[in-house]
Amino acid sequence: MNKKETLKSSLRILKRNKMRTFFMVLGIIIGVASLSITFTIGRGFQKQITERAKKYLGSSDILVTAVKIKLEGKSVDNNLVSSLTIDDLKAIASEIPLVSTYAPVQFLPNCEIIAGNKNISTSVRGSSATGQIVWNRGVIKGDYFDDAEELNATRVALIGTKIAETLFGESDPIGAQIRIGDVPFTVKGVLEPKGIDPHGNDMDFDIVVPITTMMKRLMNVDYIAMAKIVISDENRMDEAVSGITAVLNERHHITNGESDFLILTPTFVKEKIKEMTKVFNVFLPLISLIALLAAGIVIVVLMLMSVNERISEIGLRKAVGARSKDVVSQFLIEVSITSLLGGIIGITIGLICFKVFCSIIKISFFIPWQIYVFGVLLPILVGIIAGIIPARKAAKYNPIEALR
């Protein structure tokens, strides 16, 4: 029997045994659909977090964040201080030739911003005049504040596009007066739109003021929360990190290894993202794989039933010249067709569910290439492995005994 005739015969048998075919396909559909959903969601989250992280950290960027320490051993939040200062950054820049530029940052969350009779609550960020280069975010209207305004702690502010829309509507906000808390500021520019940051915050609601203005006029502190440092050669990242660590350890008199700062590099962030999404990329797909293996067991049982019901058919085929390998091929083709059909339907259902999920939680929709392996090759492989036992059993029948 040639392959074409074997294929036609397999399709006829599958069509004739609709209920058995349905349950074989259903098992594969459930396994592949669940595997597709968990894997695509995991990759979707990983892609979204990675894209957001790139807005914060480029390949040649280093984040130095201040670790809050307890004042006099007390645990009250109001007594927490930070030892990271602008002078630390100046020392790093002067002692490490790899450092191109830097921008200190301080945060003030949940500030009330008032303009006329309108108000909004948002976070305010203090940064330096170099921030537009370091953070790759300039203004689309007006001007960025300059070194002189930073030096003099001038009360000027850059506002996000959504802040401008909320407080000023169609009016031009440049030169307008706003109040951050009780302190008046003049709007000098409107920031470029940036979307969502790695923490899920909308950066278009940002307000940026000079770091000195933030520290002296809004917070009355002499420390910063973090800084972004840009190096000239990304291939020497480890060298730069070692240098920054040495400078800060010396300036902060750290000798016991318990640093009061944390250094984040692109590699470190990538590893953290992988850890965060491991439950979706590893554990849940493994659980879904169990469903696919269960489908394989169902196939074995149903195919063994099929063999028992088709003993006389097998005997007749062998009596008219069919070889044992022809019988094996017959059953493997049947199980491959059902597995492929179940895989295609399962992957389609999985991607539809992922599309709906993306629209609900606002993440970008994309199809990872691995999903085609899960949806096509894996179910066929499971089906063939599951079909080997029934196929071999069918091939071993003696035609004379089978025809009795």
Q: What is the rounded CA–CA span in Å between residue 245 and residue 237?
A: 12
pLDDT given at position 310 = 62
368 closest CA partner among 3, 36, 27? 36
Q: Which amino acid is at 268?
A: F
Last residue in a domain, options 224, 240, 264: 264
39 and 71, same domain (yes or no): no
- Evaluate whether residue 271 is within a structural domain: no
- Evaluate whether residue 270 is within a structural domain: no
Q: What is the rounded CA–CA span in Å between residue 66 and residue 97?
A: 23
259 and 345, same domain (yes or no): no
Q: What is the rounded CA–CA span in Å between residue 155 and residue 183?
A: 8
DSSP, collapsed to helix, strand or coil, labels residue 172 as: coil
Mean pLDDT within 74-79: 40
Q: What is the rounded CA–CA span in Å between residue 320 and residue 37?
A: 48
Query: Are the C-beta atoms of residues 103 and 86 closer than 8 Å to each other?
Result: no
Q: Is the alpha carbon torsion for 262, 266, 268, 272 positive or negative?
A: positive
232 and 255, same domain (yes or no): yes
345 and 239, same domain (yes or no): no
DSSP, collapsed to helix, strand or coil, labels residue 261 as: strand
Q: pTM of the predicted model, to two decimals?
A: 0.63
Q: What percent of the chain has pLDDT over 90?
A: 34
Angle (CA) 106 108 124, round 5°: 85
Query: Are the C-beta atoms of residues 96 and 243 closer than 8 Å to each other?
Result: yes
294 closest CA partner among 379, 174, 389? 379
Range of the domain at 286: 3-52+276-403
Last residue in a domain, options 197, 229, 264: 264
Residue 291 pLDDT level (bands cut at 50, 70, 90) = confident
Place of tokens 């200062």: 85
Residue 145 pLDDT level (bands cut at 50, 70, 90) = very high
pLDDT given at position 47 = 74
317 and 389, same domain (yes or no): yes
- Evaluate whether residue 339 is within a structural domain: yes
- Evaluate whether residue 269 is within a structural domain: no
Beta-strand relationship, 207-210 and 118-127? parallel
- Evaluate whether residue 345 is within a structural domain: yes
**Which has more confidence, 327 or 248?**
248
226 and 133, same domain (yes or no): yes
151 and 30, same domain (yes or no): no
94 and 240, same domain (yes or no): yes
pLDDT given at position 149 = 95
Last residue in a domain, options 209, 242, 264: 264
pLDDT given at position 79 = 43
pLDDT given at position 74 = 38
111 and 253, same domain (yes or no): yes
Q: How much is the mean pLDDT over the chain? A: 80
Distances (CA, A) of 170 to 38, 188, 195, 203: 44, 17, 21, 20
254 and 328, same domain (yes or no): no
287 and 386, same domain (yes or no): yes
Domain total in the chain: 2
- How many C-beta atoms surround the C-beta of residue 81 within 10 A? 13
65 and 208, same domain (yes or no): yes
